[in-house]
Structure 1
Amino acid sequence: MMGDRTKIQEALFYEFRLEDHVPAGHLLRSIDRFVDLDGLREHLRPFYSGTGRPSIDPELIIRMLIVGYVMGIRSERRLCEEVHLNLAYRWFCGLGLNGPVPDHSTFSKNRHGRFRESDLLRQMFEMTVRQCIAKGLVGGEGFAVDASTIKADANRQRSVPSPDKLPIEAAHRAVREYFSVLDDAAFGSATPVQPKYISPVDPAARWNAASGGLAYYAYCTNYLIDLKSAVIMDVETTTAIRQAEVTAQRRMIERTQETFGIWPERLAADTAYGSAENLAWLVHERGIEPHIPVFDKSARQDGTFERRDFTYDHVHDLYVCPGGQQLKQQWRKINSDQPNAPPDNLLRYRSSKLACDVCTLKPKCCPNQPNRKVLRSIHEGARDMARDIALTDAYIISRRERKKVEMLFAHLKRILKIDRLRLRGPNGARDEFHLAAAAQNLRKMAKLIPPGAPALST
Structure 2
Amino acid sequence: MMGTKERAFARLVNVSREKLVPADHFYRQVERTLDLSFVRECVQPMYASGGRPSIDPVVFFKLQLVMFFEGIRSERQLIRQAADRLSVRWYLGYDLDEPLPDHSSLSKIRTRYGLDVFRWFFDAIVQQCQQAKLVWGKELYLDSTQVNANADLDSLTPRFAVEAREAIQRHLTALFAQENQGDEEEGGESMDAPMSEGSSNTGTCLQPTSLPVVLSQQEQEELETERSMRHDWIVEEGRQQREIHGLYQRSADFQISTTDPDATPMRLKNGGLHLGYHTHYVVDGGKRRIILEALVTPAEVMDNQPMLDLLWHVRFRWHVRPRQITGDTKYGTIENIKAIEDAGMRAYIPLPDWDQQRPPYFGPSKFTYDAVHDRYVCPNGQLLHLSRMEYKAEKVEYRAEAATCNACPLKAQCTPSNHGRQVHRSFHANYLERVRGYQQTLAYQKALKKRKVWVEPLFAEAKDWHGMRRFRLRRLWRVNCEAQVIAAGHNLQQLLKKRGWGRRPFPTDAICASFGLFWMLCSLTFARKISSFADCLSFFKDEEVRFPLC
TM value normalised by structure 2: 0.72
Structure 1 position 407 matched with structure 2 position 447? no
Q: Residue 392 of structure 1 corresponds to which residue in structure 2?
A: 441
1:419-434 → structure 2 map (5 Å cutoff): 419-434=469-484
Note closer, same or farther for the CA distance 1:49–1:287 as it changes in structure 2 (3 Å cut).
same
Kept in 2: contact 1:70–1:440 (CA 8 A): no
Q: In the aligned structure 1, how far is the partner of 2:23 from the partner of 2:428?
A: 56
1:267 Cα deviation from its structure 2 partner: 1.5
1:13 Cα deviation from its structure 2 partner: 5.8
Note closer, same or farther for the CA distance 1:294–1:56 as it changes in structure 2 (3 Å cut).
same
Note closer, same or farther for the CA distance 1:11–1:280 as it changes in structure 2 (3 Å cut).
same
Note closer, same or farther for the CA distance 1:21–1:388 as it changes in structure 2 (3 Å cut).
farther
Q: Equivalent of 1:146, from 139, 143, 146?
A: 143
Q: In the aligned structure 2, how far is the partner of 1:301 from the partner of 1:15?
A: 81
Q: Residue 254 of structure 1 corresponds to which residue in structure 2?
A: 312
Note closer, same or farther for the CA distance 1:206–1:423 as it changes in structure 2 (3 Å cut).
same
Give secondary structure in 2 for the equivalent of 1:267: strand
1:198-217 → structure 2 map (5 Å cutoff): 198-217=256-275
Q: In the aligned structure 1, how far is the partner of 2:372 from the partner of 2:159?
A: 52
Kept in 2: contact 1:242–1:272 (CA 8 A): no
Q: Residue 28 of structure 1 corresponds to which residue in structure 2?
A: 27
Which stretch of structure 1 is more off in the superposition, 354-363 or 267-276? 354-363
Give secondary structure in 1 for the equivalent of 2:158: coil
Kept in 1: contact 2:354–2:363 (CA 8 A): no
- RMSD of aligned residue pairs (Cα, Å): 3.1
User: Which is richer in helix?
Assistant: 2
Kept in 1: contact 2:240–2:301 (CA 8 A): no
Q: Residue 111 of structure 1 corresponds to which residue in structure 2?
A: 110
Q: In the aligned structure 1, how far is the partner of 2:471 from the partner of 2:361?
A: 49
Q: Residue 86 of structure 1 corresponds to which residue in structure 2?
A: 85
Note closer, same or farther for the CA distance 1:292–1:364 as it changes in structure 2 (3 Å cut).
same
Q: Residue 102 of structure 1 corresponds to which residue in structure 2?
A: 101
1:244-298 per-residue CA deviation (whole Å, 9 max, x = no partner) reads: x2232222111112211113211211111112222222222x3321111112323
Equivalent residue letter for 1:384: E
1:359 Cα deviation from its structure 2 partner: 6.5
Note closer, same or farther for the CA distance 1:382–1:449 as it changes in structure 2 (3 Å cut).
farther
Equivalent residue letter for 1:83: A
Equivalent residue letter for 2:283: I
Equivalent residue letter for 1:153: N
Structure 1 position 188 matched with structure 2 position 240? yes
Give secondary structure in 2 for the equivalent of 1:420: coil
Note closer, same or farther for the CA distance 1:77–1:307 as it changes in structure 2 (3 Å cut).
same
Q: Residue 352 of structure 2 corresponds to which residue in structure 1?
A: 295
Kept in 1: contact 2:148–2:274 (CA 8 A): yes
Equivalent residue letter for 1:393: L
Q: Residue 330 of structure 2 corresponds to which residue in structure 1?
A: 272
Equivalent residue letter for 2:241: S
1:212-231 → structure 2 map (5 Å cutoff): 212-228=270-286, 229-231=288-290
Structure 1 position 438 matched with structure 2 position 488? yes
Give secondary structure in 1 for the equivalent of 2:257: coil
Q: Residue 237 of structure 1 corresponds to which residue in structure 2?
A: 296
Q: In the aligned structure 1, how far is the partner of 2:474 from the partner of 2:76?
A: 18
1:37-116 → structure 2 map (5 Å cutoff): 37-113=36-112, 115-116=113-114
Kept in 2: contact 1:152–1:420 (CA 8 A): yes
Equivalent residue letter for 2:151: A
Kept in 2: contact 1:147–1:223 (CA 8 A): yes
1:79 Cα deviation from its structure 2 partner: 1.1
Which stretch of structure 1 is more off in the superposition, 88-97 or 302-311? 302-311
Q: Residue 363 of structure 2 corresponds to which residue in structure 1?
A: 306
Note closer, same or farther for the CA distance 1:18–1:5 as it changes in structure 2 (3 Å cut).
same
Q: In the aligned structure 1, how far is the partner of 2:150 from the partner of 2:54?
A: 30
Kept in 1: contact 2:367–2:378 (CA 8 A): yes
Residue ranges of structure 2 left out of the alignment (5+ in a row): 174-193, 200-230, 504-550
Which stretch of structure 1 is more off in the superposition, 147-156 or 58-67? 147-156
Kept in 2: contact 1:346–1:378 (CA 8 A): yes
Q: In the aligned structure 1, how far is the partner of 2:11 from the partner of 2:52?
A: 36
Q: In the aligned structure 2, how far is the partner of 1:358 from the partner of 1:76?
A: 72
When the two structures are aligned, how many residues end up with a matched partner? Answer: 436
Which stretch of structure 1 is more off in the superposition, 396-405 or 158-167? 158-167
Q: Residue 124 of structure 1 corresponds to which residue in structure 2?
A: 121
Kept in 1: contact 2:111–2:198 (CA 8 A): no
Note closer, same or farther for the CA distance 1:4–1:359 as it changes in structure 2 (3 Å cut).
closer
Q: Equivalent of 2:429, from 376, 380, 384?
A: 380
Q: Residue 497 of structure 2 corresponds to which residue in structure 1?
A: 447
Structure 1 position 282 matched with structure 2 position 340? yes
Q: Residue 4 of structure 2 corresponds to which residue in structure 1?
A: 5
1:302-348 per-residue CA deviation (whole Å, 9 max, x = no partner) reads: 67543223332334432234455443214xxxxxxx86x53333311
Q: In the aligned structure 1, how far is the partner of 2:417 from the partner of 2:54?
A: 77
Q: Residue 161 of structure 2 corresponds to which residue in structure 1?
A: 164
Which stretch of structure 1 is more off in the superposition, 302-311 or 391-400? 302-311
Q: In the aligned structure 2, how far is the partner of 1:70 from the partner of 1:12?
A: 31
1:153-173 per-residue CA deviation (whole Å, 9 max, x = no partner) reads: 222222213333454246999
Equivalent residue letter for 2:294: V
Note closer, same or farther for the CA distance 1:382–1:25 as it changes in structure 2 (3 Å cut).
farther
Structure number with larger C-alpha Rg: 2
Q: In the aligned structure 2, how far is the partner of 1:134 from the partner of 1:303?
A: 56
Q: In the aligned structure 2, how far is the partner of 1:304 from the partner of 1:217?
A: 36
Residue ranges of structure 1 left out of the alignment (5+ in a row): 331-337, 454-458
Q: In the aligned structure 2, how far is the partner of 1:353 from the partner of 1:385?
A: 33
Give secondary structure in 2 for the equivalent of 1:246: coil
Kept in 2: contact 1:208–1:215 (CA 8 A): yes
1:177 Cα deviation from its structure 2 partner: 5.6
Kept in 2: contact 1:31–1:445 (CA 8 A): no
Give secondary structure in 2 for the equivalent of 1:107: helix
Kept in 1: contact 2:279–2:295 (CA 8 A): yes
Q: In the aligned structure 2, how far is the partner of 1:12 from the partner of 1:405?
A: 51
Q: Residue 321 of structure 2 corresponds to which residue in structure 1?
A: 263
Equivalent residue letter for 2:239: F
Give secondary structure in 2 for the equivalent of 1:67: helix
Kept in 2: contact 1:150–1:418 (CA 8 A): yes
